Amino acid sequence: MSRTAASGGAGRARLPASEPSLLRRHCGGSAATLRFNLAIAETKAAELRWKARQDQKGRSARRSDDVRSCEDDFRSPLTVPASAADPLRISDLEKFCEDIVQMISNKARRESADVITNSMGKPELSGTLANAFQVFEGKNFDFTKKVVDKDYNGALRQIVYYSYVQNLGFVYFRFNFKMTSSGWLLAHFAFKDETNELLPKDFIER
């Protein structure tokens, strides 16, 4: 039996230089060299654990920033749903959409919110929509054009306007209309930004 002596470290044995061990046979070097290499390995492991904790904190902070960015930049479209109240019938859909977008770009945002929500029979949402339009405060609408106008056999129709807003980006306004026996209804309104794609994903009917 070989002699071994307990070291000061917890559970760590001193390796005699005269007696080879499995660790020395696989790793090579003297006992002192092995202890030195083990210390380096423990230090590196501690550094990796510290970096992992910092990376986790960074990811959590970035997720919080992403949420704030979504809220600030309206990454998710603000929508106004149809309701059971009696909405207004709209005779000229093209002019209705053109007037709404023009009102928004001309800073008549409270008025445009009133028109949209009253048309949908949901006037109590006017304040909420007007607040959402505040993202355009102090911004200049550099360019606006209708980019989508799809009619589905005279029963459904979707119109989308695109605007380039300076110091904000590329914004899309979507109007969904549905026909009734007494005329067209504005069933849904939304706006959303999109930088990379020509049209926002899942924003229009294909």
Q: Identify the residue with better confidence: 13 or 150.
A: 150
Q: Which residues contact 57 (CB under 8 A, 6 or more apart)?
A: none
The predicted pLDDT at position 166 comes to 94
Mean confidence (pLDDT) of the chain: 75
Q: Which residues contact 104 (CB under 8 A, 6 or more apart)?
A: 112, 133, 136, 141, 173
In-domain check, residue 180: yes
Tens digit of each residue's pLDDT (9 = 90 or more) over 19-35:
444 334 444 444 444 44
In-domain check, residue 168: yes
Name the band, by pLDDT with cuts 50, 70 and 90, for residue 117: very high
Q: Identify the residue with better confidence: 87 or 175.
A: 175
The predicted pLDDT at position 204 comes to 79
- Shared domain for 50 and 86, answered yes or no, is no
Domain count, the chain: 2
- Which pTM does this prediction carry? 0.60
Question: CA-to-CA distance for 107 and 115, rounded, in angstroms?
Answer: 14
Domain range for 107 is 80-193
> How far from each other are the two terminal CA atoms of the chain, in whole angstroms?
81
